[in-house]
Amino acid sequence: MKKPNPEHIEKLCSIINTSPYPYLLSMKLSDIGIGYAKVELEVEKKHRQLMGVVHGGVFAALIDTVTFWAVYYAIDDPGAWVTSVDLKINYLAAASSGKLIATGRQLKVGKTLCYADAEIRNGDGKLMTHGSSTLMILHGKELTDHVLVTPKFIGG
């Protein structure tokens, strides 16, 4: 059975967490494996809208990001990438401070499309947002700015 390569995960998290958009929002890929991912964000002033609560776009970015990484290990083609086709979000509670923890899980992976869902909870475990995403597999779109020389998997 294939197992995620810890060295690959370490390098991947380093690349993702310092890439421009995640860095801008201060979100961090904190855990990833076969069929799941976790992204965390500590709420800062820059995340709040005029009423003092986290902007819906921040929640949307977390859902979009964590669903993407939840399907990452299901894509066997090393020259393939995925892109969001749609994003559905239910905002269930407002946040103004603390930690937001987004957990994504792969639900279905086909030849062309993937489907994943996610939830965002605050540091106390309260459900803040639920969402889902359909993602399209794009072949020949490998990561070009960074080189991941470590294989995704270890074992057979």
Residue 33 lies in a domain: yes
| CATH number of the domain to which 36 belongs | 3.10.129.10
Residue 40 lies in a domain: yes
pLDDT above 70 (res 146): no
Window from 8-17, 55-64, 134-143, 147-156 with minimum mean pLDDT: 147-156
pLDDT over 70 percentage in the chain:
94
Residue 156 lies in a domain: no
pLDDT above 90 (res 15): yes
DSSP annotation string for the chain: --EE-HHHHHHHHHHHHHSHHHHHHTEEEEEEETTEEEEEEE--GGGB-TTSSB-HHHHHHHHHHHHHHHHGGG---TTEEEEEEEEEEEE-----SSEEEEEEEEEEE-SSEEEEEEEEEETT--EEEEEEEEEEEEET----SS---S-SEE--
Where residue 80 falls among pLDDT bands split at 50, 70, 90? confident
Window from 63-72, 74-83, 108-117 with minimum mean pLDDT: 74-83
Residue 81 lies in a domain: yes
The domain containing residue 125 runs over which residues? 3-151
Residue 13 lies in a domain: yes
**pLDDT, position 121:** 98
Residue 130 lies in a domain: yes
Q: What global pTM score does this model have?
A: 0.93
Domain count, the chain: 1
